[in-house]
Structure 1
Amino acid sequence: MGLNSRAAYLFALWTSHLFFLTAGDSRVNPRIITAPKGESRFPLEKRENLITLYHEEGDSSLLVGAEGKLYYFDFESSSNHVEDFPEQDSGACQKPEEEKNYLTFIGKYHDTLLICGTNACKPTCWNLADRNKSEVAAQGLAPFVRNQNSLVLVDGEAIYSTINLHQHNGKIPRFRQVRGTGELYTSDTVMQNPEFVKATVIKQDERRDDKIYYFFREDNPDRSPEAPLKVSRVAQLCKGDKGGTSSLSASKWTTFLKTTLVCVDPATKSNFNLLQDVFFVPSDKNWRETRVYGLFSNCWGYSAICVYTIGDIDTVFRTSKLKGYTKDMPHIRPGQCPWDGNHTPPETFKIADLHPEVEERVQPVVPRNSPLFHNKNRYQAIGVHRIQARDRHTYNVLYLVTDKGYIHKMVEMPHGVLNILEIQPFQPPAPILAMTLDHRRAKLYVSSPTEVVQVPMDMCEVYHRSCESCVMAKDPYCGWADGKCVSVKTNLTMLQNVTLESSLEICPRSVFKQQEVDSPESYRNVTVALFSRYFLHCPTESHAATYMWHHNGSRIQNCSSTHRPCIHFIKNMTHNHYGRYTCISEENGFSQTLVKEWLLKQPAPSQTLMQRSQAVSVSPSFWLGFLQMMALARLFQ
């Protein structure tokens, strides 16, 4: 199938209003519309089950690492090519499925593109330039087999990794510095069966205080029956750590400390203890205001977003007591970064090595000590993009990947989130294996097992129905101008209102008062057989609206906020059910007709055809019961 014929995919519209902290499962049966301008996609050569994405800000190209292949796609020029990275030797593998080369890392190092893969249990890296590749040392940069617990972080000359250096020893997971001024690793006792999630480097006011923060899950040391089996953590390390002074500590991090991330709904006491993903939003003003968006789940698979600041995390590590340590603190506190290239004093390191956890836990910052929101969806990944709306305020927009192959687009507000859109990037829905964001170009790059797609963040044409529909969507990317819903990038004089107040006064009164023409031509004619069943479906455009079905001008059904979408079910079609049906939504004084159907009776057929038509309309369960009765009758003859 050619690229042009594959270029259309479907989006599901899901505009909702305030999605408060205790929001429940808000999935609906969405309305499907055509893709917005700017979408494009590329197919993969074969079905993949492990994907690594690499994208540079402001560039239109994307690199996709897969099994034995590196894909290059340029979404602007539509050019693409594939580089083969086959496994070289499978003698070191113990299982046949491991005898492949899974590309697990793509990144820039020394201004050169570095690609690393498992290479059939013999990890290998390549420098790639102008489609020419050369092998380089790979120890600690790629796992021996596919491993979701691998984490690699590049920061200038330094590379940090959680990957074991040897295949048959060194089984205890560690956080290592594998490139840079020296090789360091965490002590074997400071983490218990860790599952690594994400890491970052935060540059502070003084270079000597620059920190590495990494986030992980580990076994809970609390063995009480009511305690969760896993607990979510954040750990700190000083970038200037030189290791210890003794032979046993010379290669160990001496500034390691860890603490617990709290994500509990105070209203229901629901504990979201399993950290799934983390996204960092840097501050333009102060490193302490850098936000950490944590995606958590609980034992039922429900999800929550808790937001922390680096400043709060730093304060906990600087001021909290060590758990289990009751003596006086030494002059150089555990976790304190050494000055002027000095080593951490041995007595300080010994205390931290025996008591690596601090007592105080990190609480969410927005809203205070509570999740930003939680619901019954199973989210797997998170991305956050900052957008300046027409009102000059900057809004954080969350993109959340579900286990059903959708992306939920939400806007963070002072008192909760607005659930703006549900995006279906693949048709039919497919698992989303990876997602990355381009903040400068406002694009999402998403991969399924068979294709990758570039999705524009400003999908304004989905709100095309009217000025009210556009403005009331509360999408900070979009506003009404020149008779259509357009992107804020193209028109700063648009009509827009992202606040929670009424938006109707924003639109011209002539538009608001415009009456729809109720003519037979404006209805969709549907022929329905007598005595059959029929569903009338009304799409949900806003969860703050009220939806009503009318039949021949009379209201026949209201839908509450918990019943989405609004469905009118006719169990048995009689003569009285035929006629005009409209679904009307009302919100803040604004009403619009979403569905207009005219149910028509079938033309009078012959008696034989009438019987056949009625037979078709009878449910399969009726015929099953009829056949059972006939069988019993013959049995007792």
Structure 2
Amino acid sequence: GTGISPFIYTQNSLSLSVLFWGFFSSRYTVNTFFLSFYHVFTEPTFVSASWVQRTDDPDNEKIYVFFREKNSDHNREADPLISRIARVCKVDEGGSKRFFQNMWTSFLKARLVCGIPKESLYFNRLQDVYVMHADNWQDTRVYALFTSNWNSTAVCIYTIKMIENIFENSKFKGYNNNLPTPRPGTVRTLLFNIVKDHSEMADWVDSDPFYISTNNYTKIVVDRVQAADQRFYNILLLATGIKFRFLSSFAQKTLIVGSAERITAVNLQSCQEYSKSCEECVLARDPYCAWTNDGYSRNKFSLISLIALFPFSPPFLSFLQEPRNRTKREIPPLSSVHLRTVHSVPQGVPFYLSCPIDSYHAEYTWEQKGQKSPCLQMLTNCLHLIPSMSQEKYGTYRCISEEKDYIKVVGTYELIENQDPKKCSKSNTPDNWNAAPALIPEMTWITLLLALLIHSRGNA
């Protein structure tokens, strides 16, 4: 209906329960009426709205709205958009028929700032907000996702106590006279003109970035998990260019990801991916999974942070609670399970070795006769290029990964000299690279050849 839904489905709008529908209407009684405040906005783009409940004082509950609007500062160096937070009383039904009919009487707004003032670094464009409610309403946290002009992303955290401090104590922008008692924006008063003409706070609600990334994230969801050390940790889930929503159930936690074409449910507890060994499970640092002496588990006590708090050794497993009805199994250490391949290669031919990349958090190196060389990473493979086989190039090569002081031998390769070129192991020679798509994807063939060419010239 008019005033409730936007004219087109792509137009930005908000909805918040049946008591606060959209940002332009309120249904607090049987008769629906619309409260308008277009005069306090400048080309707004609404991002989110949240109703923060106060069990000890329900009549004083507030609704907070997060939005972007056009910046009135026309300075060339100023960002054309600024972010704001607005507050309105939940019980605000608008003014009387004589004064400010169909208009909010408690509406206030303040600038929402995320940045590092000392470095003149600001993220001015609010993209998304996630509100994590607490038992004490003042401890409720607002996780706000911002972007900058150069498409960097930052997450800033605000508490409702911080926000309320600005609305309750800040001066009104552009108003220099003494304020009446009680303060405008808290209860009805005949001096509604102050709220109407000076609804913006002079002080800003500001915070330093909690997280900064060069990725252009647009959506944020925050979850809370309990770790093996009994402490609670907040998990940030960020997305680029898609819409998602977090749904939690007793059985499992699911992330609902939506786009214009489809909606997908992503299980956040895919612990079976780390079923090979304890090392693999812990190094994954998946906050939704844990490892016990009987295997992986979707335990509520996850291993988050233990990899950073303790050395990588089995003793910390004693912190975990073992799940019931699980079959115990013996699994050899991951460091002892690796590939061993023998290649017979004649002298004078180029050759390469490849081992799989199990973790992108690890650092991979090649070792041969005590000498270490860096890994040439090609998507899911770690390569070692040999421009021309010579006597000193033969021997044993080991592909080694190191992550958080945990060292693992991923693969061992033996290169032996072949006196008969007709019986050469050609699977890893340039002439037969096209026959090994599993080792080198098509898009990397040219890159690999160029790398080999550059490396060969450098050693000429």
TM-score, normalised to structure 1, is: 0.57
Amino acid at match of 1:273: N
Distance 1:361 1:451 in 2: 39
Q: Does structure 1 residue 323 correspond to structure 2 residue 173?
A: yes
Distance 1:376 1:315 in 2: 32
Give the secondary-structure state (helix, strand or coil) at the position aligned to 1:504.
coil
Q: What residue is the counterpart of 2:38 in the other structure?
A: 188
Q: Does structure 1 residue 351 correspond to structure 2 residue 171?
A: no
Distance 1:517 1:153 in 2: 54
Cα contact 1:324–1:355 (8 A) shared by 2? yes
Give the secondary-structure state (helix, strand or coil) at the position aligned to 1:321.
coil
Amino acid at match of 2:308: L
Q: What residue is the counterpart of 1:572 in the other structure?
A: 387
Q: Does structure 1 residue 591 correspond to structure 2 residue 440?
A: no
Superposed CA deviations along residues 314-344 of structure 1, whole A, max 9, x for unmatched, are 12111111011100111132221x3xxxxx2
Distance 2:355 2:52 in 1: 51
Q: What residue is the counterpart of 1:160 in the other structure?
A: 21
Which of 208, 212, 228 is the matching residue for 1:390? 228
Q: What residue is the counterpart of 1:66 in the other structure?
A: none
Which of 417, 420, 438 is the matching residue for 2:248? 438
Distance 1:563 1:328 in 2: 68
Q: 1:202 to 1:587 in 2, by over 3 A?
A: same
Deviation at 1:279, TM superposition (A): 0.6
Superposed CA deviations along residues 489-545 of structure 1, whole A, max 9, x for unmatched, are 4xx6x8776363224234489999886267xxx3357899985675746636364x5
Give the secondary-structure state (helix, strand or coil) at the position aligned to 2:201.
coil
Cα contact 2:248–2:254 (8 A) shared by 1? yes
Distance 1:514 1:533 in 2: 28
Q: What residue is the counterpart of 1:236 in the other structure?
A: 87
**Identity rate, percent:** 31
Amino acid at match of 2:68: R
Higher helix share: 2
Amino acid at match of 1:145: I
Give the secondary-structure state (helix, strand or coil) at the position aligned to 2:167.
helix
- The runs of 5 or more residues in structure 1 that have no matched partner are 1-137, 163-174, 339-343, 365-369, 404-431, 623-637
Amino acid at match of 2:190: P
Q: Does structure 1 residue 333 correspond to structure 2 residue 183?
A: yes
Which of 535, 539, 547 is the matching residue for 2:357? 539
What value does the CA root-mean-square deviation take over the aligned residues?
A: 4.0
Q: Does structure 1 residue 145 correspond to structure 2 residue 11?
A: no
Amino acid at match of 1:290: T
Cα contact 1:302–1:378 (8 A) shared by 2? yes
Which of 355, 376, 381 is the matching residue for 2:219? 381
Distance 2:280 2:354 in 1: 22
Amino acid at match of 1:362: V
Deviation at 1:302, TM superposition (A): 1.1
Amino acid at match of 2:226: Q
Give the secondary-structure state (helix, strand or coil) at the position aligned to 2:16.
strand
- After TM superposition, the structure 1 = structure 2 runs for residues 281-296 of structure 1, keeping only pairs within 5 Å, are 281-283=132-134, 285-296=135-146
Q: 1:526 to 1:248 in 2, by over 3 A?
A: farther
Deviation at 1:224, TM superposition (A): 2.0
Give the secondary-structure state (helix, strand or coil) at the position aligned to 1:152.
coil
Q: 1:480 to 1:247 in 2, by over 3 A?
A: same
Asked which structure has the greater RCO (Cα within 8 Å, sep 6+), the reply is: 1
Q: 1:464 to 1:379 in 2, by over 3 A?
A: same
Cα contact 2:155–2:212 (8 A) shared by 1? yes
- After TM superposition, the structure 1 = structure 2 runs for residues 221-232 of structure 1, keeping only pairs within 5 Å, are 221-232=72-83
Q: 1:600 to 1:227 in 2, by over 3 A?
A: farther
Which of 421, 436, 458 is the matching residue for 2:269? 458
Distance 2:153 2:416 in 1: 46
Q: What residue is the counterpart of 1:270 in the other structure?
A: 121
Kindly tell me the number of residue pairs found equivalent between the two proteins: 418
Superposed CA deviations along residues 53-72 of structure 1, whole A, max 9, x for unmatched, are xxxxxxxxxxxxxxxxxxxx
Q: What residue is the counterpart of 2:367 in the other structure?
A: 550
Give the secondary-structure state (helix, strand or coil) at the position aligned to 1:384.
strand
Distance 1:442 1:234 in 2: 30
Give the secondary-structure state (helix, strand or coil) at the position aligned to 1:161.
coil
Cα contact 1:549–1:581 (8 A) shared by 2? yes
Cα contact 2:363–2:401 (8 A) shared by 1? yes
Which of 176, 193, 214 is the matching residue for 2:25? 176
Distance 1:443 1:299 in 2: 33
Give the secondary-structure state (helix, strand or coil) at the position aligned to 1:334.
coil
Amino acid at match of 2:103: K
Deviation at 1:272, TM superposition (A): 0.7
Cα contact 2:277–2:333 (8 A) shared by 1? no
- The runs of 5 or more residues in structure 2 that have no matched partner are 318-329, 435-444, 450-460
Q: What residue is the counterpart of 1:468 in the other structure?
A: 279
